[in-house]
Amino acid sequence: MSETITLYVDGACRGNGKDSALGGWGAYIVTATEERKIFGGETQTTNNRMELTAAIEGVLACPKSAKLIIWTDSNYVKQGITEWIHGWKKKNWKDVKNPDLWQKLDSVCQGREIEWNWIKGHSGHAGNEMADQLANLGADQTAKNLTAVLENNTEDKKKAESDWLFDDPFGLDFAGEEAEPVEPECVEDEVSESTIPMEMLQDSQKQTTTMHPHIVITPSTVEAIGPRQLILDTETTGFYFQDSDRIIEVGAIEMINRKLTGSSIHIYINPEKEVGDSVNVHGITDEFLTDKPKYAEIADVLFDYLKGAEIIAHNATFDMNFLNMEFKRTGHGALSEVCEVTDTLAMAKSKHPGQKNSLDALVRRYEIAQRDRTFHGALLDAEILADVYLAMTGGQVSFDIDALSQSEQQQGTSGRRQVDETGLAVILPSEEELAAHETWVKQIEEKQGKSCFFSK
């Protein structure tokens, strides 16, 4: 009789679909005699690719003779492999997103007995929560490896031959520009899948927690200087902070100079009361919250992380009323007294009067990548709100020399025309000067890894 293995798989992605995205995948493998935990990650990816990778790696880690009972909180994966894939094959994978991973998943499943199941994410199921922790651990490890790679690149650059423009003696370097993203395959080599014993997993998790084991603080991976903005969301037991409803989840991600730094905080909280009908909104059960800390146990750490920043929230009055109430209970005073608050719902109503301005409506209006929001989650909603906020306030801002030059050209055409009309002498460069310039431009392009505006 063949062995039966239960497999929980999950993916995670911070900055979904962006060049700076950090992804992770995890698989929790349960047999009759043992438990195994594997995880990994990569950069410049998406949540769907990480969900698929988790399924692929989880299946590959199991004997081909075993019967697999697979649980995933991604309808994309479950329906894709059990329903949609047949039509995709008939169309020869035309217009299918992530065809490489779908074909690989199809291949590794051939000849196996597999039962695919869907489970609600963040619903308190121990197997799904473990897979989620492993996926986030994979993303954390990817961030650490990426930081190490960037630091090594920085050291290598310091050792490079000196050049007046490279060294920027006049302080004209492009302030605030992000480091070039590392090629995904380089990170994959360093963050390959790994099977780890429980004690190693616990040691790794301690690196991303502070004070209480259920407070998860992720360190920043991007150096930035400027005022902190925290895109924040909460989940609660109900709508009325005056009538004993409590916070059960807080999630916030950090942004400085319109760039996500990678830093975030995420906490589940025992509300000391039943969640009631609110479980239909967020999917967080009483059973899941039983071992989570009470607000008083996490208040110090959360207050220190939030204070002094600009809090950005959708329908911020709701979140701030609850946070103020909870912090007053613990003797910290109102959070709104130490933070500036920006309400994106009020902004949206001002920009789009008479229209729907829910988070889902804004995601559709600004054509932001869709995520599975069957259930609301504080950290997921904060990540979505970050995209919405940037879109509403003008999109991602960067120091774009090409755009600046074009703008100056449009605004200063008349001024330059007056200079041209004075009949100034035009001195053309020699062939030697042109050749030297071309060589110099190529050096710049090799250093920056992209086209130099001097060559245009």
CATH classification of the domain holding 132: 3.30.420.10
N-to-C CA span, the chain: 69
CA distances, 152 to each of 156, 245, 265 (Å): 6, 50, 28
Is 9 strand, coil or helix?
strand
Q: Does 402 fall in a domain?
A: no
Establish whether 156 is an annotated binding residue. no
Round the average pLDDT of the chain to a whole number and report it: 80
Higher pLDDT, 166 or 450: 450
Higher pLDDT, 21 or 60: 60
Rg of the chain (C-alpha set): 26
Mean pLDDT of 57-83: 93
Q: Which two tokens stand for residue 205?
A: 């998790």
Q: What does the pLDDT read at residue 110?
A: 93
- Residue 96: is its pLDDT beyond 50? yes
Confidence class for position 418, pLDDT limits 50, 70, 90: very low
Establish whether 233 is an annotated binding residue. yes
Mean pLDDT of 144-161: 65
Catalytic residues: 376
Q: What does the pLDDT read at residue 213?
A: 79
Residues 228, 177 within the same domain: no
Q: What does the pLDDT read at residue 406?
A: 41
Establish whether 235 is an annotated binding residue. yes
Residues 62, 142 within the same domain: yes
- Residue 327: is its pLDDT beyond 70? yes
Residues 169, 301 within the same domain: no
Mean pLDDT of 410-423: 44
Residues 202, 329 within the same domain: no
Residues 6+ apart with CB under 8 A from 190: 145, 149
Note whether 19 and 177 are within 8 A (CB): no
Domain total of the chain: 2
Domain extent, residue 27, equals: 1-207
- Residue 20: is its pLDDT beyond 90? no
Comparing 147-151, 236-240, 272-276, 374-378, the range with the smallest average pLDDT is: 374-378
Q: Does 400 fall in a domain?
A: no
Residues 70, 34 within the same domain: yes
Q: Does 102 fall in a domain?
A: yes
Comparing 43-52, 99-108, 357-366, 436-445, the range with the smallest average pLDDT is: 436-445
Confidence class for position 420, pLDDT limits 50, 70, 90: very low
Residues 6+ apart with CB under 8 A from 189: none
Comparing 110-114, 304-308, 364-368, 396-400, the range with the smallest average pLDDT is: 396-400
| Nearest alpha-carbon partner for 260 in 402, 389, 403, 364 | 389
Q: Does 357 fall in a domain?
A: yes
Q: Which residue type occupies 385?
A: L
Q: What does the pLDDT read at residue 106?
A: 93
User: How do residues 343-358 score in pLDDT, each as one tens digit?
Assistant: 999 999 999 999 999 9
- Residue 372: is its pLDDT beyond 60? no
Residues 63, 102 within the same domain: yes
Q: What does the pLDDT read at residue 24?
A: 93
User: Of 376, 395, 414, at which residue does a domain stop?
Assistant: 395
Q: Does 53 fall in a domain?
A: yes
- Residue 154: is its pLDDT beyond 50? yes
User: Of 344, 376, 395, at which residue does a domain stop?
Assistant: 395
Confidence class for position 120, pLDDT limits 50, 70, 90: confident
Establish whether 332 is an annotated binding residue. no
